[in-house]
Structure 1
Amino acid sequence: MSWDPGGTTANRGKLYIYLKFLRIEQTFFSLPMAYLGAFVAIRGIPSPATMLLIFFALFFLRIAGMTNDNLADREIDSRNPRTRTRPLVTGAITTKEAKILIAIGLIGFFTSAYFINKWALLLSPLVAIVTMTYPYMKRFTSFANYQIATVQGLAVFSGAVASAGIEYDSLIQVLRSVPWLFVIATIFWAVGFDLYNHIPDAEFDRKMGLHSFAVLLGKKALIFAGLNQLMSVILDFLADFQYSLGPISYVSTVLHGVIMAYAFYLAMHDNFGKAFYYNIYSSVVLGLGIDLDVLLGIPPL
């Protein structure tokens, strides 16, 4: 129960502290899903420039969102034994530095959206609002778990807008190109692994008046997490069929589900840290598999 992906010791270098603070490796939860959306939306390969700009947009939004989350929860984290080594709590990163990071992140995100295409820029405030309001939503409702999961779903959406927005002049056409089944499937997937982060803190969060499905459901929260991820796999299969994808997509969906099932097994044995990170592997497998399927153009089953 002592696992904390954002904790660090004071005797580490400043760069290491920043990377732990931002949990930069968690970009790989969303980056494969963004590329999935980009490939499926146009049934082809986006330009290298578009691929690079998608990466920068996600990178900068993670800087803004994660810093904002840490800043909003600083006082709460200082009272939680599990999170007392986070840099904003220990003073390794100051409040002023955090505010500068948020500004850099948002400027970088909107700048990236500007260079992607006009529709990406137009829709970028929606993505930013959903991302930046999450830490406050959990003060009011358990559905904050679905809000943070929607940020992951918006990665698929944003990737699709980035590639399709170059192809189409109409916003309606762009939105029609978005693989919505994959967007919704990603939300259910993310709710599952997000709860691995909340279940260990359920009792503490209850005392602090914070809301999550871990607090609401108690011992049933893990089953709820598993059901969400099961629903995500079902929707992924439906998406493979709906978007006329080939056999590689189906194989990657199966592997995606198997990895999630193993993560659930780990969570059942209280290894929530490892279970949480196994979802990175499931994301990479699904995203790369479907991108490869589109790239090769193998006929659908």
Structure 2
Amino acid sequence: MVHSWDPGGATESRSKVYIYFRFLRIEQTFFSLPMAYLGAFVAIKKIPPVSILFLIFLSLFFLRTAGMTNDNLADRDIDARNPRTRTRPLVTGKITVKEAKMLIVFSLLGFFVSAYFVNIYAFLLSPLVALVVMTYPYMKRYTAFANYHLATIQGLAIFSGAVASLGLYVHSFFTLLEGVPWFFVLSAIFWAVGFDLYNHIPDAEFDRNMGLHSFAVLLGNKALPFAGFNQILSVVLAFMGDIFYGLGYIAYIATVLHGLIMAYAYYLATKGNFGKAFYYNIYSSVVLGLGVILDVMLI
């Protein structure tokens, strides 16, 4: 049995602040933060300045707010037809289209200003990063690789964290890109494909009828094993990162836990409980991120 769930729905009569938190799925922003900090710590193998850590948080918060708002705005008509998503605030009118557009403008401005204060490399790359984030909701109109587009955004969190810290010490783009912990970037991408499919598999029939694309639609019953395969790749790449970047036993333990939690999430998904599977899969990234960060701090 597939359990119906929606992390962005808001059926309760609560304050406007609560509605916005549900609308933005604010908890997922904080779940993404350890991955961005993972990139910042591993790239320079030490604790970045507090100012940089704060600016990474601001940049992530503003860009994710813009991206999530744009996603909800682009899918407003689709969400209204889907029984699972018809309680989202833009559908019910608890947040208006005008409010959403203003939030996008404000958040993008906040992102670019934050990137400017991080370093010149972060500022120069910020339009490209924003473009990837803001084009995501339109990709599922054309290709199943929209799942990998979303996953790439998660990988960009690690990439951007690395750019933020490395930019303080390097003097060329080549050296900057060379220092990015690419194994962890790729690990995050394959991890994110799994949790995105947990979001899409319950909607596969609806998406097919709407002419939307995902690997859940493309692969049918094979979509869940495909999600599991991507998560195995995530663990393998994380272990390769532990080895290649000379990390210690705490990172290895965190990687093992990352895999075990994802395995449990996969088990929940096989039982049709995609809501819990989605969140457990996110918890796995928090464990990996915090473990690697702690490992670097104690080196």
Q: If the TM-score is normalised by the length of the shorter chain, which range does it land in?
A: over 0.9
Deviations along 1:97-147, one digit per CA (max 9) or x if unpaired, are: 000110111011111100000000011111101100011011000000000
- Residue 7 of structure 2 is matched in structure 1 by 5
Q: Which residue of 2 aligns with 1:265?
A: 267
Greater CA deviation, 167-176 or 125-134? 167-176
Aligned-residue RMSD, C-alpha: 0.8
Look up the match of 1:174. 176
Inter-partner Cα distance in structure 2 for 1:290 and 1:135: 31
Task: Show the counterpart of 1:97.
Answer: 99
Amino acid corresponding to residue 284 of structure 1 in structure 2: V
Q: Percent identity?
A: 72
CA distance in structure 2 between the partners assigned to 1:278 and 1:205 by the alignment: 24
> What's the CA shift string for 1:53-111, capped at 9, x where partnerless?
00010000111000000000000000001111000000000000000110111011111
**8 A Cα contact 2:170 2:176, kept in partner:** yes
For residue 279 of structure 1, report the CA deviation from its aligned partner: 2.1
Q: Point out where structure 1 has 5 or more consecutive residues left out of the alignment.
A: none
Per the alignment, in what secondary structure is the counterpart of residue 166 of structure 1?
Answer: coil
- Which segment is superposed worse, 22-31 or 241-250? 22-31
Alignment-mate amino acid for residue 160 of structure 1: A
* Structure-1 residue corresponding to 2:206: 204
* Cα deviation, residue 10, structure 1: 5.5
Report the count of equivalent residues. 297
Given that 2:32 and 2:286 are in contact with CA atoms closer than 8 Å, whether structure 1 keeps it comes out as no
Q: Which residue does 2:79 correspond to in 1?
A: 77
1:230 aligns with 2:232: yes
What is the TM-score with the length of structure 2 in the denominator? 0.98
Preserved CA contact (<8 Å) 1:10 1:92: no
Q: SS of the residue aligned with 1:194?
A: helix
Equivalent-residue separation in structure 2 for 1:202 and 1:12 (angstroms): 31
2:47 partner SS: coil
Equivalence map 1:10-89=2 (5 Å): 11-89=13-91
The equivalent of 2:133 in structure 1 is 131
Q: Does 1:185 align with 2:187?
A: yes
Q: Distance in 1 between matches of 2:261 and 2:34?
A: 15
The residue matched to 1:82 in structure 2 has which SS? coil
Are the counterparts in 1 of residues 199 and 274 from structure 2 also a CA contact under 8 Å? yes
Q: Indicate if the aligned counterparts of 1:153 and 1:184 stay in contact, CA closer than 8 A.
A: yes
Q: Secondary structure at the match of 2:84?
A: helix
Asked if the contact 1:149–1:188 (Cα under 8 Å) also holds between the matched residues in 2, the reply is yes
Q: Distance in 2 between matches of 1:208 and 1:8?
A: 24
Say which of 275, 280, 293 aligns to 2:295: 293
Letter in 2 for 1:209: G
Aligned residue type for 1:221: A
The CA distance in 2 between the partners of 1:281 and 1:205, in whole Å, is: 27
Determine the C-alpha separation between the residues in 2 that align with 1:38 and 1:293. Answer: 13
**Secondary structure at the counterpart of residue 18 of structure 1:** helix
Secondary structure of the residue aligned to 1:93 is coil
Q: Which of structure 1's runs of 4+ aligned residues deviate more than 3 A?
A: none
| Larger CA deviation: 151-160 vs 278-287 | 278-287
- Identify unmatched segments of 5+ residues in structure 2: none
Secondary structure at 2:168 match in 1: helix
Structure 2 residue 253 is matched with structure 1 residue 251? yes
Residue 115 (structure 1) aligns with: 117
- In 2: Cα distance, 1:76 partner to 1:287 partner: 34
Quick check: 1:152–1:190 contact (8 Å CA) kept in 2? yes
Contact conserved, 1:3 with 1:82, CA < 8 A, in 2?
A: yes
Q: TM-score of the superposition, structure 1-length normalised?
A: 0.97
